[in-house]
Chain A
Amino acid sequence: MDFLFNNEYLLIFLSFAAILIIFFIIFYLFFSKKIKEEKFVILKISQEFEESLRKTTEEELRKIIAELKEKVNNFSDKTILNYEKDLSEFVKKIEDEFIALSLLSKEGREKILKNSEEKSKKLENQITGEISKFSELNNQIRNFIIEAVRKEVEVMGKNLNAETKIILKTVDDIVTKKIIEMERNIDEYQRKKMAEVDKKIYQLIGKVAKMTIGKSLDLATHEELVMESLEKAKRESFFK
């Protein structure tokens, strides 16, 4: 009966352990979802720091992944160790039970032994199954986290690339427009300056012409030009 009682106790213990494992699995799934949500928050950050943000985020993610890997590994190692410890204790207890059984009748011993073997095998199978499931889940969690992070980084990278391209294109367009505008302004400035210089040259020519012609004319020509001017004024009815 003690043996049976002990087996029952063991079963409860193992069930409790399984619940703990499931709890941890749920915790990690939740934790990975939390990481995912945090990425979206990061993605909303201003474009001005995109590049540095991307680098920082990648670095942070790498750290988180490393920490998670370590935690998962530590967890699985500890769990396995605990199972091993439990099993060794369990085996010891069985041995003790066998010693006790030797005191029983052959028939009774065989019956209990058979019963015990069946239960032991069942328990063993259960434990092996749990460990296997846990390892599988552990791997799944690990792969899921790695994949999720990789995807996020990829998406973020793509987004950043696309946004960067848009920004670069916009900047390029602005720069091109500015260059064209500057070239146009320079051309206009050159044209105006040339026009000013030309005007000044012609004004100078006019000034020189005035001085030269004025001095080169003799008095008779001057007088003649005055009389011609009076005649012109008359033709234009200036005196009426």
Chain B
Amino acid sequence: MSEPDTSEILVDGRGLAPPEPMEQVLAALGQLKPGQRVRFLIHRQPYPLYDILRRYRYRYETVAVADGSYEILISGP
């Protein structure tokens, strides 16, 4: 589990009905300060989100978690 960390905004979208997880993660990206990143927890591969991230040149890294969910680290363009 992640520690409270000011260099990171944590968005936990697990178990929420779409498109709430994406709404939350996009809102978090809007508040991102230079050097900060978003840690996004989600219960499935968010393929549509990747489209938006690529389009706006965010850098992201997806890690599959043992419980079947995914953790995506997103940093600014």
B partners with A: no
